Structures are given as C-alpha cells and as structure tokens.
Structure 1
Amino acid sequence: MIKISIPDEELELNKMTKKNSEMLYFQVVERIREWIMKGYLKEGDILPSERELAQMLNVSRMPVSQALKILEFLGAIQYVRGKGVIVKKIDINYLLSNIGFLLFDPENSLHDLFEARDAIEIKAVQLAVQNRTKKDMDIMEDAIMEMERNIIMKKDVGNASIRFHSAIIAASGNDIIIKINEILMEPLKYSRKLSLKEILQQNTALSYHKELFQAIKEQDVEKATLAMHEHLCDLHNAIKE
C-alpha cells in the first residue's frame, strides 16, 4: 500500500461548532478534496481504511463512510476489490463545480433539500406504484408499524420514517434515485429531527405514510403522487414554522 503523508494541521476538523456537529461528513469530504488539490493524494494512491481515516480525523466511521460515498459518486475515488479505495484521475474543475451539489449546509439548504425531495420522491412513488413487490410492501408496512409503536412509546420516529421512504425509493427500481437517496441520507436525518419533533406532526406524518402505503398497494398513481406532494409540503411547512 502507498502510504500517504498528511501534515497534522490538515487533519483537524471543526467539530465543536453547532453548525457542523451534525454534519461532520461535510467536513470530511472537504478535507479529502483539499488533500487531492494540494497534492497529498495523487492518482493511484490507496486511501487508508475507513477505520484509519476515522482515527486520523478523530471522528467516528459514519461520517467517513458517508464522505467516501459522495467522493465515489463524484468519480474522485474507486473501490477496487483486493486493493481498497483508490484515488482516480479526475478533472479538478469538474470536482470543484459539482461537489456543492452533494454538500449540505443545514442552516441554509433545507428549502433546497425539500425541493429536491419533491422532485425525486414523487417520481420514486410513481415508479413504486408500477414496480413494487410483496417484499417492498412488507418493508413499508413494517416501517409504519414501527413508527406507530414509537409514537405511542414516545420514542424517536426518525429512523422508521427513513425506512418507509427508503422502501418506496427501493421499490421504484431506479438505481440512480436509490443512489441519490443514499448520498443524501445524513441531510435527510437532520431534516427529520426538525420536522418530526412534535407529537402532532408525528401523527400527521404517520397518516400520510398509511395513505401512501394504500395508494401504492392499490397501484393508484394519482393518489400516491398527491399524497407524497402534500406530505412533503407539510413537513417543509413544519420546519419553516
């Protein structure tokens, strides 16, 4: 393995600010991008493992894993079986111009996130109506039941909500939509923390989930489309208020 040498001052992340505490993966992507631009990482170099990168940056593996998914999507790195994660030959101008699409500033980008969700998830639910399988429906139903239990027990409902929406996206059968959902997972988790804080909003979201489930089950594309749009608008309004 080619060892990379990164100066200590290039490793520290700003983990203490309120703005970035939820979004460390944002900083990890930026830091690796800077390493590439400054020549610390070159084409053909093999990155340290997720565990080693996490230790180097003094973070958990989760933000490192998310950052690597984004960089792979951008074409900056590539997983090679038997070798690891390799830095690819990339057009730096392309990387600089497109990286902003995948980085999320929680203070300024929630509106953009919901606009993107409206476009992506409405198309996903339309495809899910056509392509859903029994397994897809079982996962959606299980997520609804989990959300219902958690509301009653006053537990967090965010993960159940993510499971439900991800099941719809998986049922779409569209690999690009599925990949985009994976890349946006951290911003989606953050937005749910804000939109599903109140018990009233949790019950409203649960009602929409049940309506979406029934529309997909009945293969009613118009009903599913309208329910998804209204659901996302309701969540967006909850955050704005």
Structure 2
Amino acid sequence: MAIPLPQSSGTRREGPGVELTRRLLEYLLSGEVRPGQRIPSERQLAEALSAGRSTVREAIKSLSLLGLLEQRVGDGTYLSRSSSDLLPQVIEWGLLLGEKRLDDLLEARYYLEVQLTGWAAERRTEEQLEELRAIAEKMRSASDDFEAYVEADIAFHRQLAEMSGNTTLASVLSSVRSLLRAWASRVIRTAGETETSLAMHEPILQAVERGDAEAARAAMTAHMDRATRRLQASMPDEEDETDKSA
C-alpha cells in the first residue's frame, strides 16, 4: 500500500537532502501520523519518496534532533507527542528555508555558543553576572531532577547570549531554542546523570566571573566538543535501525 506522502513541487532550488526533509516534515504535520505513533520505516520512506536511504536517514536524524521525532533502537521512529508545540520553533529556526543536515545544525550552534560566551565575559554587568550565578545554583540543586536540570541548562546558555550584548546573535540563538531543548534533554537522559554536564559549566561560569574572554571561549569549546560527541553517540547507528512493516 502506498504511503500518502506529499509530492515534490519541483520548483524549489534546493539540494536533495533539504527537499526530502521538507517533504518529510510536511508529511509528519499533515495528520497522516498521529503524535506518539510510529512512522513508516526508513526503507518504506525511501521507496515512497524515490530517495536514497542515506538521505532519508539524515532527514530523520535532523528532525529527531529538533525533537519532532523520537528514534527508539530496535523499535523504529515515532512522532513526538510534543511536535505541535515545537512547530513554531522549527519554522523559525529555518529548517523549511534550507537547513541542510544534522552536522550543519551542530556546527552552527557550536560556533555561536563559543563566540557569545567570549563576549559575555568581556561585556557582562554585575547584575547579569548575579543572574548567571543564580542559574548555575539551580543547576547544582537539580542534580536528581532531569527536567529541572535541562530547563536550568537552557537558561544558562540563554543568559550568556544576553550577556554578550549582541542582540542579533542572541536572537539567532533564541530562534534555535527548540534545538537547545532537544539537544540538552537527549544528552542528559542518555548519560543518566548531570554531574558531568555540570562540571563542564563550572569553568565557563568562573571564566565569565573573572572577565577572561579567552578562558571563557576555551571552556565553552570544551563543553561543545563533549556535548557534540555525546549527542552523536546517542543517535541510533544505521545497523541499529530495525525496519518495521507499516
């Protein structure tokens, strides 16, 4: 039985990965799949969309990172129960306007975080610094509460962006808030603890407190390096994906 996926208009000047991700997103939000329901297998999607499985796999990974899909090793991929809440952020982030793939999303956040943190160390006010300290204390207090920790983690990065004084880039970071939430939640839940993440944030706070921009950027770089590796490790490998019949 054919899977009722949207047809390509053939008018957009985009790479195959971008076009496929757009069509898959349209399908997921069309009502054909209910929140919490398993979507067609990678093989079925590739056949229905006349696309390579590697391209389908990248599209699924990108949408999983944004929180729209949940990949379960050995059990297929499911539409997130909170997908409707995430739609405005996904659109704002620009996935529909041409974001290419998972690696691009990771790279964009990496460099944005590092630069804004350096500026935060140079430009922060004492009032802003006190707020950052208060957020860090919330992170310490939420060591056994993953949801509270993730909220505080996101607030920590958002505060650094505000402290940078660059409203344009801070706005860009705000636009990827859905990405930040999915990122932090996936990494923390996969790790099963918050101590490692907290230990990566402490040097950032200390460098910003000292007004040491170089040390702040170095600390954030170390944090982004580790977080990126942990996120990539949390994504199911190709051989772990199990095709399920519709």
| Number of equivalenced pairs | 168
Higher RCO by CA contacts (8 Å cutoff, separation 6 or greater) = 2
| Cα deviation, residue 173, structure 1 | 1.1
Aligned to 1:182: 174
When residues 67 and 221 of structure 1 are mapped into structure 2, their CA distance, relative to the original with a 3 A threshold, is closer
Question: Is 1:136 equivalent to 2:134 in the alignment?
Answer: no
Q: Matches of 1:63 and 1:186 in 2, distance apart?
A: 6
Q: Matches of 2:229 and 2:211 in 1, distance apart?
A: 28
Partner deviation per Cα, 1:95-117 (whole Å, 9 max, x = no partner): x7xx023x8xxxx51x3222112
For normalisation by structure 2, the TM-score amounts to 0.58
Aligned match for 1:149, one of 134, 137, 141: 141
Q: Secondary structure at the match of 1:182?
A: helix
Aligned to 2:30: 12
Q: Matches of 1:126 and 1:208 in 2, distance apart?
A: 16
Give yes or no for contact 1:140–1:168 (8 Å, CA) kept in 2: yes
Aligned to 2:183: 191
When residues 134 and 194 of structure 1 are mapped into structure 2, their CA distance, relative to the original with a 3 A threshold, is same
User: 1:83-232, aligned counterparts within 5 Å?
Assistant: 99-101=97-99, 109=102, 111-153=103-145, 156-197=148-189, 198-200=191-193, 202-232=194-224
Aligned to 1:66: 89
| Cα deviation, residue 172, structure 1 | 0.6
| Cα deviation, residue 144, structure 1 | 1.3
Aligned match for 1:23, one of 68, 74, 81: 68
When residues 229 and 218 of structure 1 are mapped into structure 2, their CA distance, relative to the original with a 3 A threshold, is same
| Cα deviation, residue 64, structure 1 | 5.0
Partner deviation per Cα, 1:201-221 (whole Å, 9 max, x = no partner): x21221121111110110111
Give yes or no for contact 2:146–2:188 (8 Å, CA) kept in 1: no
When residues 65 and 209 of structure 1 are mapped into structure 2, their CA distance, relative to the original with a 3 A threshold, is same
When residues 219 and 63 of structure 1 are mapped into structure 2, their CA distance, relative to the original with a 3 A threshold, is same
When residues 117 and 67 of structure 1 are mapped into structure 2, their CA distance, relative to the original with a 3 A threshold, is closer
Q: Matches of 2:92 and 2:169 in 1, distance apart?
A: 14
Q: Matches of 1:239 and 1:192 in 2, distance apart?
A: 9
Range with bigger deviation, 114-123 or 228-237:
114-123
Give yes or no for contact 1:126–1:172 (8 Å, CA) kept in 2: yes
When residues 65 and 118 of structure 1 are mapped into structure 2, their CA distance, relative to the original with a 3 A threshold, is closer
Partner deviation per Cα, 1:3-44 (whole Å, 9 max, x = no partner): xxxxxx9x83444446568328xxxxxxxxxxxxxxxxxxxx
When residues 70 and 237 of structure 1 are mapped into structure 2, their CA distance, relative to the original with a 3 A threshold, is closer
Residue identity in the other structure for 1:100: G
Q: Matches of 1:194 and 1:63 in 2, distance apart?
A: 15
When residues 219 and 184 of structure 1 are mapped into structure 2, their CA distance, relative to the original with a 3 A threshold, is same
Partner deviation per Cα, 1:127-183 (whole Å, 9 max, x = no partner): 111111123212211221111111145654211110001100110111121111111
CA RMSD after TM alignment: 3.2
When residues 69 and 112 of structure 1 are mapped into structure 2, their CA distance, relative to the original with a 3 A threshold, is closer
When residues 240 and 146 of structure 1 are mapped into structure 2, their CA distance, relative to the original with a 3 A threshold, is same
Residue identity in the other structure for 1:144: A
Q: Matches of 2:87 and 2:146 in 1, distance apart?
A: 31
